[in-house]
Structure 1
Amino acid sequence: MSSGSQRADLLELFFDLAFIASLAMTSQKMAAQQSWTSIAQALLALSTLWAVWVTTTLITNSYSPQRRPIPYLILVSTFGLMLMAAALPTAFDNHGLFFGGTWVAIFLGRELVLIRSLRGRQEQERSVRALLWNVSSGTLWVVGAMVSDADSRLAFWLVALAADYTAYGFRFPIPGRPPLPNYQVAPEHLAERYQQIYILSLGELVLVSVLSLSSEPFTVDRIGAFCTAFLTAVVLWWSYARGAGATLRAAIESSPHRGRLVQTNPYAHWLMVAGVVCTAAGFEQVIAHPGARPRGPMSALILGGAVLFLGGRAVLEHEVFQRVPLSHVIGVVAALAVAPFAGHLPGLAVSVAAGLVLLGVAVAELLRARSNPARDPATT
């Protein structure tokens, strides 16, 4: 296998389509069931699917996606993501083994193939360590899938997911063995992949808005909700494209702590992608019933989407520019301050409030950038 790609390969974009399908199933589950439990289950499922995307992207960054066996690993991961997405709505019912078992098959199979392909190379040790961790967490995924009680399954899978994220974050530590070196990455490729997947995730909000409006009679309040969804999508795009996301490649290249940035990127982008998915789930219901007062879980989706996005943007901003903008903190506080009143307001009003919070943060960032052009990503 040769070194990783400098630009995204078309096969990687094909792989992204499977992940976007999983986003659609996640937001659909949130919107359809509208309960605290369904939100927790959906976020866990999204975190699991995100782990598949992140680790696959790291592999294509390290090894050329055009050299065997990498294309086959990508295709298998694509099929696995599609199967997990299909099983997601009933993953905590009768399709748990399809969801958890597919995860185990993807990760164990992938590491076994890499171990064989990397024979005699130093990189093989990382795959060996990953395999050991995946066997441990995979046991929890399978046991959880075989437990009939949904709450117990959720508990098992939360522990398994925590183990997976811990292993990645600490580079698969093994007692008695020295730490693995930091991930060696191609900055251009890695930045491009995260930029692409975030922008593609906004397509879920666009698609949900269009489908929700198309299935209902056009009324003034529904058109208003649709416009609010569009403007929210624009702000979510602009905030990323004109902020730290635009300088991600330069930040990775110039950072003295490149390894840390590579490891924190997945968590920052997960928060932002989860925020987009929650926002999309909220708008699915708001466009259909703009005058209805949202219950607690629905309010959490609408306002929580803004909070998750701003949290992710703050983390990314800190890693790229070594600062946490005050505007992001104020935005999170403002969104949370609306929550106690959300149950007494129409869903459209709550979504407008969340949109205004995001817009206010974006405007504050624009003013800050204009007052300090040297830090404006568009001018660097």
Structure 2
Amino acid sequence: MVPRAGRPVIHTRGVISDASRPAAARPELRVSPLELFFDLVFVFTVTQLTDSLAHHLDPSGFARVLVMLAVIWWMYDAFIWLTNAMPPQTHPRRGLLLLGMAGFLVISLTVPHAFEGSGVAFGWAYVLVVAVHTGMFARAGVSRRAVARMGQLNLVNAALVVAGGYLQGTTELLLWTAAFALQFANPYLVDLPQFQLRSDHFVERHGLVMIIAFGESVIAIGVGIGDAHLTATLIAAAMLVLAVCVGLWWAYFGEDDDERAVHFMAGLDDARRNRLAVRLYNLGHYLLLLGVILLATGAKSAVAHPEEVLHTDTAGALAVGVALFLAANTAIRRTIGLSPLLPRLVGAAAVLALGLPLGTRVSALAELAGTVALLAVVLGFEELRARRPAAQRARAVPVD
């Protein structure tokens, strides 16, 4: 995902961006097959979190999923930074990355009962993940002092997670919430400019993670239908869930929005790029992932009983998931200078205002259809608005 030839050179405060360098002088850094394999564990993590929320769709269950996703995503995203700094091109690196993958698999396995006894295994697997990450980063050519500071802070997080696993219940939730809160402070306590970030690989990897997350909503279609006899109504519900996923995919990628993000990020100096990476790709994508998990949770019930009205919590999960995704996506687009913004915010509000009553008063199928219609209107309006100036410019060009 290197900016294509012919794009303008970006200068930011006297810093010549990576995007301005000739392609021959700047080798492309692509996502490796092992990283894609590593991401398969995250598919399972998202599935486990969705299943946990579906079985405990109440404030307590939602709070637990909020915290578990935050704690897991923090270190998972840290491994994206790691492979950006040192691609897994040697056997020792690959072996250590597979060890980290095993740690994430154990974490995923413990998700359903993390607050009922499995939190101990979650915590110690988390310690393993932190140790592998810190040890590998120490060999990545980054300042040892910066890596040591980062490792210490991540170990404090891990200690809070381990302690919570032993104590369980409300105390566990409080300690894991404290670990979540510490994550907001970590970027300000670490010397971020020491970590040189390659924009092409970084943006591409996060885009692939989002595609994996969308896959969870597709999986929810099959889980919701189960072994039920396939009817026209079930097929219609399945197609509508798929259409919602396509709409969110378009909202994220759109007109090469990922390429435009690469270009924007590459035009910044190390300090600004890294701070923005934390805001957009850690916090921002945490909200996007949470939106997808909520959508998948609601979609399971909607597909299972498309002609019935939904419980408020289930209809709310579906509506809030789509609205949260659109709102977070709009905030990200605003930061990197993409437009328009207002249609997506209006769409998010409309999904909340119309989707919830459709699901609870008419049927699950009605909420799905209404959501698809709103996404089509919002994204279609943006497409027409983007094409209109181009058509006007084309008409203004004199013909010989």
TM-score, normalised on structure 1? Answer: 0.87
Post-superposition shift, 1:155? 1.8
Q: What stretches of structure 1 of length at least 5 have no aligned partner?
A: 174-178, 375-380
Q: Give the AA of the match of 1:338.
A: L
d(CA) in 1 for partners of 2:382 and 2:185? Answer: 33
Distance 1:5 1:132, change over 3 A: farther
Decide which moves more: 180-189 or 19-28.
180-189
Does structure 1 conserve the Cα–Cα contact (< 8 Å) formed by 2:164 and 2:171? Answer: yes
d(CA) in 1 for partners of 2:195 and 2:349? Answer: 35
Aligned to 1:289: 305
- One of 319, 338, 354 as aligned partner of 1:338: 354
Decide which moves more: 322-331 or 188-197.
322-331
Q: Give the AA of the match of 1:29.
A: S
Rg: which structure is higher?
Answer: 2
Aligned to 2:159: 139
Does structure 2 conserve the Cα–Cα contact (< 8 Å) formed by 1:108 and 1:134? Answer: no
State the Cα RMSD in Å: 2.5
TM-score, normalised on structure 2? Answer: 0.83
d(CA) in 1 for partners of 2:142 and 2:105? Answer: 33
d(CA) in 2 for partners of 1:38 and 1:266? Answer: 23
Does structure 1 conserve the Cα–Cα contact (< 8 Å) formed by 2:355 and 2:371? Answer: no
d(CA) in 2 for partners of 1:110 and 1:53? Answer: 10
Does structure 2 conserve the Cα–Cα contact (< 8 Å) formed by 1:228 and 1:351? Answer: yes
3-state SS of paired residue (1:85): helix
Q: What stretches of structure 2 of length at least 5 have no aligned partner?
A: 1-25, 392-400
Distance 1:37 1:47, change over 3 A: same
Q: In percent, how many aligned pairs have the same letter? A: 24
3-state SS of paired residue (1:321): coil
Task: Determine whether 1:352 maps to 2:365.
Answer: no
Q: Give the AA of the match of 2:258.
A: G
**Cα deviations across residues 326-345 of structure 1 (Å, max 9, x unaligned)?**
01211222123236624333
d(CA) in 2 for partners of 1:124 and 1:373? Answer: 51
Does structure 1 conserve the Cα–Cα contact (< 8 Å) formed by 2:143 and 2:194? Answer: no
Aligned to 1:263: 278
3-state SS of paired residue (1:181): helix
d(CA) in 1 for partners of 2:261 and 2:182? Answer: 28
Q: Give the AA of the match of 2:330.
A: A
Post-superposition shift, 1:4? 10
d(CA) in 1 for partners of 2:345 and 2:55? Answer: 31
Post-superposition shift, 1:23? 0.9
Does structure 1 conserve the Cα–Cα contact (< 8 Å) formed by 2:319 and 2:356? Answer: no
Aligned to 1:377: none
d(CA) in 2 for partners of 1:237 and 1:114? Answer: 32
Post-superposition shift, 1:189? 1.0
Question: Which residues in structure 2 correspond to 1:362-377 (within 5 Å)?
Answer: 362-373=379-390
3-state SS of paired residue (1:6): coil
- One of 258, 265, 271 as aligned partner of 1:252: 265
Does structure 1 conserve the Cα–Cα contact (< 8 Å) formed by 2:71 and 2:179? Answer: no
Does structure 1 conserve the Cα–Cα contact (< 8 Å) formed by 2:46 and 2:213? Answer: yes
d(CA) in 2 for partners of 1:71 and 1:190? Answer: 19
Aligned to 1:233: 245
Post-superposition shift, 1:182? 5.7
- One of 129, 140, 143 as aligned partner of 1:106: 129
d(CA) in 1 for partners of 2:171 and 2:289? Answer: 27
Question: Which residues in structure 2 correspond to 1:193-204 (within 5 Å)?
Answer: 193-204=205-216
Aligned to 1:153: 172
d(CA) in 2 for partners of 1:297 and 1:254? Answer: 44
d(CA) in 2 for partners of 1:343 and 1:353? Answer: 13
Question: Which residues in structure 2 correspond to 1:1-16 (within 5 Å)?
Answer: 6-16=29-39
**Cα deviations across residues 160-191 of structure 1 (Å, max 9, x unaligned)?**
12212431x32x34xxxxx4426311121112
Aligned to 2:183: 164
Does structure 2 conserve the Cα–Cα contact (< 8 Å) formed by 1:19 and 1:49? Answer: no
3-state SS of paired residue (1:94): coil
Question: Which residues in structure 2 correspond to 1:162-201 (within 5 Å)?
Answer: 162-167=181-186, 169-170=187-188, 172-173=189-190, 179-181=191-193, 183-201=195-213
Post-superposition shift, 1:373? 4.6
d(CA) in 1 for partners of 2:329 and 2:343? Answer: 11
Does structure 2 conserve the Cα–Cα contact (< 8 Å) formed by 1:137 and 1:160? Answer: yes
- One of 112, 117, 125 as aligned partner of 1:89: 112
Task: Determine whether 1:123 maps to 2:143.
Answer: yes
Does structure 1 conserve the Cα–Cα contact (< 8 Å) formed by 2:51 and 2:297? Answer: yes
Count of matched residue positions in the alignment of Structure 1 and Structure 2 = 361
Question: Which residues in structure 2 correspond to 1:59-74 (within 5 Å)?
Answer: 59-67=82-90, 69-74=92-97
Post-superposition shift, 1:51? 1.7
**Cα deviations across residues 253-301 of structure 1 (Å, max 9, x unaligned)?**
2246423332222222222222222211111111111233322321221
Does structure 2 conserve the Cα–Cα contact (< 8 Å) formed by 1:191 and 1:249? Answer: yes
d(CA) in 1 for partners of 2:388 and 2:351? Answer: 26
Distance 1:46 1:83, change over 3 A: same
